[in-house]
Amino acid sequence: MNTYKKILGYALTLPLLFVVGSCGQGGGNGGALGSGNAERVYVAPGEHDEFYGFISGGFSGQLAVYGLPSGRLFKVIPVFSVDAEKAYGFSEETKPMLETSFGTIPWDDSHHPDLSQTNGEIDGRWCFINANNTPRIARISLSTFETEEIIELPNSAGNHSSSFVTENTEYIVAGTRFSVPIPQRDMPIDEYKGNFKGAISFIEVDQETGRFDLSFQVIMPGFDYDLAHPGRGASHGWMFFTTYNTEEANTLMEVNASQNDKDFIAAINWKKAEELIANGDFETMATEYAHNVYDESTQMATSTIKKEVRTLDASKYPGLVYLLPTPKSPHGCDVDPSGEYIIGSGKLSASLTAHSFTKMIDAIENEKFDGDAYGIPILNYDDIVAGVVQQAGLGPLHTEFDGRGNAYTTFFISSEVVKWKLETWEVLDRAPTYYSVGHLMIPGGNSRKPWGKYLVALNKITKDRYLPTGPELAQSAQLYDISGDKMQLLSDFPTVGEPHYAAGAPADLIKPNQVKLYKLEENNHPHAVKNEKDTRVERNGREVHIYMTTIRSHFAPDNIEGIKVGDKVYFHVTNLEQDYDVPHGISMIGANTSELLIMPGQTETFVWEPKKEGVWPFYCTDFCSALHQEMQGYVRVSARNSNVPLKWSLDGE
Amino acid sequence: MKDLTKISNTIILLALSIFLLSCGGGDGKSAADRIKEQAQMEPADPYENWESNNGIGPIKELALPAEIDQNMVTSGQEVYENKCTACHKAEKKFIGPSPKGIFERRTAAWVMNMILNPEEMVQKDPMAKKLLIEYNGSPMANQNLTEDEARAVVEYFRTL
């Protein structure tokens, strides 16, 4: 009865919060200029931002790079969706990146970027991100800002509790949201309970190359695995996952998966898992998943189908997994910088639960269990809880940290960020968001070393914040200054797709490692031509290969004859420039693929299948010099039965 | 009448831009004086003084030894063919000038600076500025050669 009253109380205060919120939009009485907020986000022309922000594109499937505090958009890195502008998924080199065991998937839903770490601190090497829909994890190089690798995850479905990086980037950990039959099979849906399982994948990362290897999967009970974070410091070696639907319902989930007062945070001891693997205590399961790698040397991606995966059944191996009761349908699962506190945000509760890692270990060592679920020990809530942030707001979702002993939690239903203190569990401050905030991000805020200057709120709903653009509105992020006692809203900025989650790092960690161009000497693309002398056109049956070069501002060759209707023409184009920021583009009239955008020293390929006789032009699409408009050429296309010989030239040679 | 308006507008714009330019000075000279001075500094034909112009860049002076170093020629030719021939051809004026007989028109140091520091050269060096205009604004690409590679290219040019 009490609970109902509380909920009713919140429901009544909710409209009030919105009203109060909408009055304070500028963040101060004098508006942004009067308060000095404008200066605090202003980055003068030619100056650089202090931080990089990597903000996921949600349903766009991409990853966008912003500067903070300015909120300026620098690049949209294509990851899980095709991008015709950059030829990603269209060029012959990048097509394999989107291969899966289901075939080519041109789109996905990217949720949680995370940055590589060394000793629990962000190190600026790679960014990882998950594909939610067709389960995959990608690795993006932070020296080229290109997607270098994508691995598919078998047995997983709705790859949501992903991608999270362990303290030394030993593993990228990725948990399934949906439990499914493992291995997949044709069976009645209502036999879910006890038969469906959840797979948690551990992808090993090569420290030199970053290359992935799906090392093993822990097969868990048929719950939904929602979010995760790794242990750090003392809790390094453990991985924590929130669960919901511990009811194991398979229909009308919004009611049937919300019955239990408490669900679990699953604590997986991955050091123990490594021992089991090393001892050969695992089962090898036949399966199928794609592993796609972009090779910097050949500048080509390859896709390989792998056929088996090592699995560890959590029910069979004592000591591998423990369940920590946590109210109620916990969503965010966040570990403080010290690694001692594991914060569960019960999204259907009003309070936050902080479990103590020390108490958890103590309970395990003393075998203080309260039953089990499918053989996995359940700990006593009272034995492990360190503190509760009481009645902090409505709909708690996610928490990050500032490194000064404070935590910041988003509340979706009450649209606010609440600042509270670790260990005293008292609320210190609250700031409205516009509107319905999901994740939040403090650069390094999910590592051992946060840079606690700015906080970015990543909102689900925009409503009236920007000029309206029809029914579909810009997605919104908001920047807060958290360097003082009180959070201050500095600015709003629109994002590409839903800004689901984000990661941030000081610019100084990433800027010095930038690749400025690809050295021609190191270009081992099988179709590269490194000087104009070697440019040529070769016919092999109906296949024609054009080996072309670009430099300011011409193509070699730029006159090509002897192409026939029905040919499949490959343009292999090498950019001979060896200077910073001199890409060239190429587009061909009627090409059903895309343009290319070729960086200095790089080779890329697109296919053109001419359908009509005639003389057809191509041109450079990336403004390259004062003579860019002259950078053009012609291809003569003749009838299938014509005798026009194959020839090519530049300036008659 | 229309033309006159145009001309007077141009004059006003010109005066304005001179005024704006003069704001950046600070040496006490009037803008007109400075333009005059610059005109004197840059001869009508900047190529006349080629023998005393080593250009702007890392190479201050380069005296070529009498003997041609054949090893350097071989490596220079390779670099030239891979990095330069998209725009320069020995037997004809192409995107850029032919390097044939180049040392009868340019000092070796100037050539190296043009290879190593083209952005600054086409902005500041009188000969490079003029060449940029003669070649339709086609920029000399910086192909990021090392000093040794540029020196080898110079040696190869001696054999053309």
Residue B44: the pLDDT is: 74
Q: Under a CB-based contact definition with an 8 Å cutoff, are residues A598 and A574 in contact?
A: yes
DSSP per-residue letters across A179-211: -EESS-----GGG-TTTEEEEEEEEEE-TTT--
**Which residues, 6+ apart, have CB-to-CB distance to A295 below 8 Å?**
A301, A302
Cβ neighbours around A510 below 10 Å, total: 22
Mean pLDDT of B5-28: 48
CA–CA separation, A384 and A436 (whole Å): 31
Last residue of a domain, one of A482, A515, A548: A515
| One domain, residues A457 and A526 | no
| One domain, residues A481 and A545 | no
> Does the beta-carbon distance from B82 to A531 stay under 8 Å?
yes
Handedness of CA A418, A422, A423, A429 (dihedral sign): negative
Residue A148: the pLDDT is: 98
| One domain, residues A433 and A405 | yes
**Which residues, 6+ apart, have CB-to-CB distance to A518 below 8 Å?**
A299, A599, A600, A601, A602
Residue B139: the pLDDT is: 87
> Does the beta-carbon distance from A626 to B139 stay under 8 Å?
yes
Q: Which of A556, A579, A626 sits opposite B142 (nearest CB)?
A: A579
Residue A16: the pLDDT is: 43
Residue A85 lies in a domain: no
Q: Nearest Cα to A311, choosing from A286, A341, A339?
A: A286
Six-digit token pair at A311? Answer: 């699995």
Residue A193 lies in a domain: no
Q: Which of A521, A531, A575 is best to mutate for the B interface (most B CBs within 10 A)?
A: A531
Closest Cα of chain B to A144: distance in Å? 19
Query: Which residues of chain A neighbour B141 with C-beta distances below 8 Å?
Result: 551-552, 577-579, 582
Residue B36: the pLDDT is: 62
| One domain, residues A442 and A524 | no
> Does the beta-carbon distance from B86 to A531 stay under 8 Å?
yes
Residue B38: the pLDDT is: 61
Residue A31: the pLDDT is: 54
> Is any Cβ of chain B less than 8 angstroms from the Cβ of A551?
yes
| One domain, residues A498 and A524 | no
Residue B22: the pLDDT is: 43
| One domain, residues A510 and A537 | no
Residue A493 lies in a domain: yes
CATH of the domain at A427: 2.130.10.10
pLDDT bin (cut points 50, 70, 90) of residue B1 is very low
Q: Under a CB-based contact definition with an 8 Å cutoff, are residues A480 and A490 in contact?
A: yes
Residue A526 lies in a domain: yes
Residue B42: the pLDDT is: 57
> Is any Cβ of chain B less than 8 angstroms from the Cβ of A581?
no
> Please, is A255 exposed, middle or buried when counting C-beta atoms within 10 Å of its C-beta (0-12, 13-18, 19+)?
exposed
| One domain, residues A506 and A547 | no
Residue A65 lies in a domain: no
What is the crossing angle of helices B2-23 and B31-41, to 10°?
90
> Does the beta-carbon distance from B136 to A577 stay under 8 Å?
no
pLDDT along chain A (653 residues), means of 10: 46 43 42 75 97 97 98 97 96 98 98 98 98 98 98 97 97 98 97 97 98 98 97 97 95 90 96 98 98 97 98 97 94 97 90 96 97 97 96 93 98 96 97 96 98 97 94 94 97 94 98 96 97 96 98 96 98 97 96 95 98 98 91 98 97 88
> Does the beta-carbon distance from A552 to B139 stay under 8 Å?
yes
The total number of structural domains that make up chain A: 2
Closest Cα of chain B to A637: distance in Å? 26
Closest Cα of chain B to A548: distance in Å? 11
Query: Which residues of chain B neighbour A625 with C-beta distances below 8 Å?
Result: 137-139
Residue B35: the pLDDT is: 62
CA–CA separation, A511 and A48 (whole Å): 10
DSSP per-residue letters across A568-587: EEEEEEEE---STT--EEEE
CATH of the domain at A564: 2.60.40.420
| One domain, residues A543 and A601 | yes
| One domain, residues A507 and A542 | no
Last residue of a domain, one of A515, A533, A567: A515
In which domain, by residue range, is A450 found? 1-50+396-515
Q: Under a CB-based contact definition with an 8 Å cutoff, are residues A501 and A112 in contact?
A: yes
| One domain, residues A533 and A643 | yes
Six-digit token pair at A538? Answer: 């070769």
Residue A283: the pLDDT is: 98
Residue A397: the pLDDT is: 96
Q: Which of B79, B82, B98 is best to mutate for the A interface (most A CBs within 10 A)?
A: B82
Q: Nearest Cα to A520, choosing from A556, A557, A550?
A: A550
Residue A362 lies in a domain: no
- 3-class DSSP assignment, residue A278: helix
Q: Nearest Cα to B41, choosing from B33, A588, A194, B89?
A: B33
Residue A281 lies in a domain: no
Residue A606: the pLDDT is: 97
pTM of the predicted model as reported, rounded to 2 decimal places: 0.89
Residue A189: the pLDDT is: 98
> Does the beta-carbon distance from A626 to B94 stay under 8 Å?
no
| One domain, residues A534 and A627 | yes
Residue A558: the pLDDT is: 97
Residue A3: the pLDDT is: 46
Residue A212 lies in a domain: no
| One domain, residues A406 and A470 | yes
pLDDT bin (cut points 50, 70, 90) of residue B40 is low
Residue B124: the pLDDT is: 96
For residues A279-305, one letter each, b for 16 or more C-beta atoms within 10 angstroms of the residue's C-beta and e for the rest, the string is eeebeebebbbbbbbbebebbbbebee
Last residue of a domain, one of A515, A548, A567: A515
Residue A649: the pLDDT is: 96
Q: Nearest Cα to B144, choosing from A299, A519, A297, A514?
A: A519
> Does the beta-carbon distance from B86 to A517 stay under 8 Å?
no
Model ipTM value: 0.75
pLDDT bin (cut points 50, 70, 90) of residue B91 is very high
Residue A482: the pLDDT is: 98
